Amino acid sequence: MLTTTDNIFHLRDGRVLGYAEYGDPTGTPVFFFHGLPGSRRQRHPDDSIAIELGAHIITIDRPGYGFSDFQPGRMLLDWPDDVAQLADSLKIDRFAAIGVSGGGPYLLTSAYKMPERITSATVISGMGPVDRAEGMKGMLPSMRLGLGIAPRVPWGFVHLALDPVAKMVSRNPLGAKKLVPSSAPEADKKAFARPDIQEVDRQDLSEAYRNGAQGAFWEVVLLATPWGFRLEDIHKKIYLWHGEEDTTVPQHMGRYVARTLSDCKSKFYPGEGHTLMYNYWREILTVAIA
């Protein structure tokens, strides 16, 4: 069993990157890209699944989260370089990669920029480009508003508006939890009512806001602006898993991404919401490391 949650790696430009390892240390390497907000502590609560399947899960704090330094002005296309440097340091040549929710764009970026290093690429309940109206259909109004105004909000206002959230989590880490809107599907409400998921959620959010809220805000800006490449230009097969009842990243977004990619195998699940991963982790991970 491997659970090493507080690792630090120094990148060539001097920045620090935090990461955690779970599962089987001798197993197939799988880089897991957390959601938004998120951290290296985001994972499936049952580590025995990864151990049984022989998967070595490596989850990295993206810049501004957890132990990772904030990177002013970074772009989505900068991310694969950080992943490659960490993989090199761990003596991992090729690896599977999984991106969940707001980590989906980072998976797609990695598949675009370094397809030769990725053995399989998986998106779970993942965000896609927001420049197409069809992809935004069914999204919560608050999310549509946030994605619409984020690129135009002055940086000073961000600190004023979001720092209280980070401070609240820092003052009361035991009470940190994601807010589940009343409009959320029943599957999501049931998932976040589970004590094991609540504990992972608490650890995850506490680390996500360790450095304040600037990391989370900058990621919203990145998702709301052009990514620097087209989905059509990804020359790697993408496995896509999505719940049909998802209101955080609606199925319309998932279907748009699946339809636009040049090579995509997608599965959409009736009755499942944004927390699809918790119910299908074994199946997803089995495909990812096959």
Residue in this structure with the two tokens 């898993």, named with its chain if needed: 241
Q: Which neighbouring-strand residues pair with 56?
A: 23, 29
Distances from the Cα of 276 to the Cα of 117, 187, 272, 283, angstroms: 27, 8, 6, 11
For residue 11, give the DSSP letter. -
pLDDT on residue 182: 75
pLDDT on residue 179: 65
Residue in this structure with the two tokens 């820092």, named with its chain if needed: 170
| Mean per-residue pLDDT pooled into runs of 10, the chain (290 residues) | 80 97 97 96 97 98 97 95 98 98 98 98 95 68 69 65 68 62 87 94 91 87 90 97 94 95 98 97 98
pLDDT on residue 176: 58
Q: Which helix (H) or strand (E) holds 168?
A: helix 155-171
pLDDT on residue 5: 84
pLDDT on residue 156: 61
pLDDT on residue 159: 60
pLDDT on residue 171: 65
Q: How far is CA 64 from the centre of its chain?
A: 14
User: What are the phi and psi torsion angles at 211 (to 5°)?
Assistant: -100, 15
Q: How many angstroms separate the first and last alpha carbons of the chain? A: 20
Question: What is the chain's percent helix, strand, coil content, to nearest 5?
Answer: 45, 20, 35
